[in-house]
A and B are shown apart, each in its own frame.
Chain A
Amino acid sequence: MLYYSLKRLGVAILVAITVSLITFSLIYLSGDPAMALAGESASEADIENIRQFYGYDRPLIVQYFDWLGRALQGDLGQSHYLKADISSVIFERLPTTMTLGACAISFGIVLAIPLGVAAAMRPNTLVDRFALTIAVIGQALPSFWFALLLVFWFGIIWRLLPITGTGSWLNYVMPSVALGYYVTPAMMRLTRAGMLDVLSSDYIRTAKAKGLRPMTVLFKHALRNAIIPVVSLAAVQFGFMLGGSIVIETIFAINGLGFLAYESIQRADLPMMQAIVLVLACIFILITFLADMLNAFLDPRIRVA
């Protein structure tokens, strides 16, 4: 188990460094960051000043290792645009994105698991088809489109929910639904498949033969086993949501990490983009790592694979 853990950890670190290197290169490929910082009406002299001021005139590899060296010591630098300490900005906004992610994944789980269970209890019936339809719609509907529909109906027509901001829990309702719906299909299908598998197993038949109540069989014996892979998937989807909240945070003007990432890309705030990618990659890798560990703990065969 220790060897397996160390191996996974080593891979995780390599992935984080590779992600940051690729991001760094892509940012430069998209154009001169000094020009982006200077703005559209900047003169040559303005742009040259900015290039020198922020050190963009140095070789790319020097800039990368300079940044990486400081990042490894915990110094993520200063945002060129916000003129603020990057660590402070990120950790100020991370809770908002984490809250949104947690609300969204909760919504996804609350919707997906009952649907999956219902579909598995009555396979190939109208109930199953209904659950499948909801899943297909969730997979096919672009989240920005779904978000705009929510804004239109709940924000403008019925005036039930606030459209932007994070002032109260009500502000999180529409974004969480829009974001969480996207992950529902995968969890619903996995729950359904797991439940179908478990419900046809011998120990369930034995439990039924012993005269246990159907609800006890279903939730105490069947669901507890069927849900294990769903928990792993939910953990990974949570990581995905942190990075994937960019569109939702943009639409609902939520001051989180996704919105910050979008803004930073647009204004070529190199140190900020690098830091966000690194932080999100680390969170994602950590969650994946924990999910791997959980799976290995639950299923010893994985450790020797």
Chain B
Amino acid sequence: MLRKLLTTTTLAALVASLGAGTALADKANDELLWATDREQAVADPYFNNTRELVIMGNTMWDGLLFRDLKSGEFVPLLATSYKWVNNTTIDFELRKDVKFHDGSAFDADDVVYTVNFVSNKDNGVLTYKNVNWMKSAEKTGSHSVRIHLHKPFPAALAYFAQAVFMMPSGHYDNVPTKADGKKDNAAAKANGTGPYKLNSIKAGEGIYMEKNAGYMKGGPKGQPQISKLTFRTIKESNTQIAELLTGGLTWIWDVPKDQAEKLAAHPAITVENAKTMRVSYLAFDVDGSSNSKVFMNKHNRAAVAYAINRESLVKNLVGPASVVIPSACHPDQFGCAQDVTTWAYDPAKAKAELKAAGNPDGFSFDIYAYRQREFTEAVIGDLAKVGIKAKLNFMQYRALRDLVWKGTTPINHMTWGSNSIPDVSAITSHFFSGGRDDPAKDPDVIKNLEVADTSTDPAVRRKHYKAALEKISAELYWLPMFTYAKYYAFSKDLDFTTTPDEIPRFYTAKWK
């Protein structure tokens, strides 16, 4: 707390007072330097599950498809066309003008190898959830493949666009063997088809990429503009800001709101607040598995829902790109119905619900959270106004999720990023299909989600997702809170467009 107070009153408080004239050096070097707080030593999107590698995966590799953010449609990238043969089979025709960074030509063998390799559990893909829906691939021509799924999986197109990157055939065949006898697949040298190629990795310092001059022409990603792209690890956000101000960095994100607002006054820095796919929610212990049985009573859940001023929280704490959400998903995701039962802020109704529950003076319980303590404290403050006393238990994510799975949390205030997959199956189906994360295990919800998750008919999917989401909202298994927004800060010299899926497209960036 002391540290936060001191740090926020040092650099961020003072940088705004600095004048113009800070000519940033990276434009002259034609190098875009970006930094986050996490070290990346493995440049392989299958063996590193961080957000940074999702970004680099989309920068150094390509998928068969590409999501056009303007239309929301999936268009061919490494493919030229695709066709659903039936609910579990999809055919792709492939481009013939694509080369990997090592100069080898891309063809059907590469797709077959990649799909069969990553979908094999024994190969230890860290992001297995992203690929385990694929069963196998077979070559149907030199530049055509057929991919078989284990079961109908309509979100497949989203994964083909954002999570299934093509590796050259035999890519992992000659990796070294570790002391325990397992193959060290993460040691394979990065070799993709994407707009940037790997130059070098320096553990603890950064990942150095350069423009792929031979990148495919006429593709939806366009042509990379900036010669060098360098990722650096700088843990401390104040140091990131200091480097941004002195030209040591071109681009940072996750800037705290108070610091972002001060940085925005600096003439050499652009600050933008952009939405993300992450949502915040309160999950109630509706089956009474925790010591507190209070949330088995729907009136008590309703009292909590009415008591929280989510609009105020969004406006004052999260950022202008954040919105309050009515249903248990992100509004940008396919099937995320918005016309469901809502619980708008109304303290009078909250008190009436408390009375109906037989708790006119309120009640006490433990609330658990792991991220942005101030958000949960704002919730606690709102609840206190109607007599509901919540005691905050703030802990690390891994410890909290363990408690959630054990069912010992009366309310947990959590978030979910859906791996940026724009489909309701990446969130609602994850949390309400009867698994350990499901607080209610409602048979109606489970059935509707199962139908929606296994149909390739968009109308059927929408209908059943809506039914599930309506039940979740009406019964208040979750109180969906808001979408997260993220502050970006970058050099005024940089022409960069923020995107709503937390996957910055550095290959579209250019100098002004």
Contacts and interface: CB of A to CB of B under 8 A. Distances in A.
Contacts of A82: 39, 41-42, 203
Interface stretch (A6-14, A39-47, A115-123): A39-47
A275 B248 CA distance: 33
A165 B205 contact: yes
* Residue among B41, B184, B436 having the largest count of chain A Cβ atoms under 10 Å: B41
Interface string B205-241: 1000000000000000000000000001111101100
B356 interface: no
B396 A31 contact: yes
B187 A83 contact: yes
A46 B128 contact: yes
A106 interface: no
A49 B3 CA distance: 38
Contact of A251 (B186, B236, B398, B437): B236
**What is the interface residue range for chain B against chain A?**
35 or more
A163 B35 CA distance: 14
B322 interface: no
Contacts of B47: 83
A212 interface: no
B235 A83 contact: no
Interface in A237-267: 250-253, 255, 259-260, 262-263, 267
Contacts of A263: 38-39, 204, 235
A160 to B, nearest CB: 11
A36 B417 CA distance: 16
Interface in B55-106: none
B41 A84 contact: yes
Contacts of B127: 46
Interface stretch (B5-13, B144-152, B377-385, B468-476): B5-13
A192 B228 CA distance: 55
Contacts of B202: 255
A78 B396 contact: no
Nearest to A39: B49
Nearest to A36: B398
B398 A41 contact: no
* Residue among B49, B398, B416 having the largest count of chain A Cβ atoms under 10 Å: B398
A83 B248 CA distance: 29
Nearest to B184: A83
A82 B242 CA distance: 27
Interface string A148-177: 110110011101001111000000000000
A41 B235 CA distance: 22
Given A83-B186, A163-B243, A263-B39, A45 B235 contact: no
A149 B9 CA distance: 11
Interface string B166-185: 00000000000011100010
Given A44-B435, A83-B47, A156-B15, A145 B10 contact: yes
B121 interface: yes
B208 to A, nearest CB: 14
**What is the interface residue range for chain A against chain B?**
35 or more
A164 B127 CA distance: 32
Contacts of A145: 3, 6-7, 10
A142 interface: yes
A40 B397 contact: yes
Contacts of A92: 203
A217 interface: no
B179 to A, nearest CB: 7
Nearest to B402: A32
Contacts of B505: none
A289 B436 CA distance: 51
B348 interface: no
B129 interface: yes
B418 interface: yes
Contacts of B2: 142
B237 to A, nearest CB: 10
Nearest to A83: B186
A259 B239 CA distance: 14
B206 to A, nearest CB: 9
B402 A252 contact: no
Interface string A57-99: 0000000000000000001011101111000010011000000
A32 B399 CA distance: 6
Given A53-B124, A148-B10, A253 B239 contact: yes
Interface string B1-42: 011001100110011001000000000000000000011011
B7 to A, nearest CB: 6
B236 A250 contact: yes
B359 interface: no
A156 B129 contact: no
B401 interface: yes
A268 interface: yes
B430 interface: yes
Given A145-B10, A250-B236, A259-B235, A156 B398 contact: no
A31 B399 contact: yes
Interface in B334-372: none
A148 to B, nearest CB: 5
B300 interface: no
Contacts of B203: 82, 84, 89, 92, 255
A199 interface: no
A124 interface: no
A50 interface: yes
B402 A31 contact: yes
A53 B7 CA distance: 40
B6 A35 contact: no
A164 B402 contact: no
A110 to B, nearest CB: 26
A46 B178 contact: no
A51 to B, nearest CB: 12
Interface string B433-466: 0011100000000000000000000000000000
B446 to A, nearest CB: 15
Contacts of B395: 31
B260 interface: no
Given A31-B398, A82-B41, 8 more contacts: A40-B397, A44-B435, A46-B129, A49-B128, A78-B180, A156-B15, A251-B236, A253-B234
5 contacts: A33-B398, A40-B417, A49-B128, A163-B239, A163-B248
Closest 4 pairs between A and B when the two form their complex, measured CB to CB: A31-B399, A31-B398, A255-B204, A83-B186
Interface of B: 2-3, 6-7, 10-11, 14-15, 18, 38-39, 41-42, 47, 49-50, 121, 124, 126-129, 132, 178-180, 184, 186-187, 202-205, 232-236, 238-239, 242-243, 245-246, 248, 395-402, 415-419, 430, 435-437
Interface of A: 30-33, 35-46, 49-50, 53, 75, 77-79, 81-84, 89, 92-93, 142, 144-145, 148-149, 151-152, 155-157, 159, 162-165, 250-253, 255, 259-260, 262-263, 267-268
